[in-house]
Amino acid sequence: MQRSAVRPSPVFLGILALTVVGGLLAAFGDADSLGSANEDPMVIGGIFVLVVAGWAASLTLHEFGHAFLAYKGGDHSVVGKGYLNLDVRRYTDPVLSLVLPLILLAIGGIPLPGGAVWINRWALRSRAASSWVSLAGPLSNFVVGLLLSLAVAFIPMADGLSYGLSYLALLQILTFVLNILPVPGLDGFGAIEPYLSPQTREFAAKVRPWAPLALFALLFAVPAVANVFWDLSDFVFRAIGGSTFDASAGNYAFMFWRH
C-alpha cells in the first residue's frame, strides 16, 4: 500500500486530543466521591468526555478497518472517497452516523452501529477478501477493547481513569458482539454472505434495511433477548480481562443524569 494513502485527518487527531483531555480530567478528579452527596464534577465530566470522544475515535477506526481491508482486497476507490483519511465525516451522514448513535448511547447505553463505508464488492479479488472487509470493523472494536482492558489490568492508574477506560472497553465488546451477529445489515452477515446461495442473498437484500432495526427493537423491548446479549458480552469482556466493577463505575459516572 502506498505510504501516502493513509493520512490521519485533523478531525481524528482532534478527537484523540479530546479523549486525552477527558482521561486527564477523570484521572485527577475525585473518583471516591462517586455515589456520595458531593460527587466531583471533574471526574464525572472527564469520564463522560473520555467515553464520548473515545467512542467517536473507535467508530472512525471501525470504518477505517473496512476501508483499509477493501483497499488491500482490490477496491482502490476508497482512496478517492477519502475513507483512508480517518475522517469520521467521510463515513456517511454525520448526524445519522455519529450524532444519533452517540445520543442513543447516552440514553440507553447500547452502542448502536453508526457509520458506514460504501465498498465496491465487485472489485474485491475473492470471497475471502469480501469476508475480511466485513470482519475488519468489529475486529477493530475487539482489539481496542482488549488493549484498553489490558491497560487497566497492568498499568497503574487513577481510579477515575480506570473507570472510564473500562466502560469504554466494555462498549467496544458490546459493539463487537452486536456487529458480529449474522443479521442482514450487520457485519457478521456480511462475512458469510459471499458463501450463501443467490436466493439467500436476494432475500437478505430485501430485509437488510429493517432487519437491524428489528434486532434493536428486540434488545430494547424484550428482556430475554437483551439478557442473552448482555450475558454474552459480559462473558467476552471478562474473558479478555475486563473489570466489571470498574466498567460499572464508569457507566454510573457516564449516566450522571440518572442520579
Cβ contact 35:163 at 8 Å: no
d(CA 137, CA 185): 13
153, 241 contact by CB (below 8 A)? yes
Rounded-to-integer distance, Cα 16 and Cα 25, Å: 14
- CA–CA dist 31, 40 (Å, integer): 7
First vs last Cα of the chain: how many Å apart? Answer: 50
CB 136 within 8 A of CB 73: no
63 is catalytic: yes
The active-site residue out of 39, 63, 193, 202 is 63
Question: Distances in Å between the alpha carbon of 29 and those of 36, 51, 107, 164?
Answer: 14, 15, 24, 12
CB 63 within 8 A of CB 137: yes
CA distance 34 to 247: 13
Residues annotated as catalytic (active site), given as ranges: 63
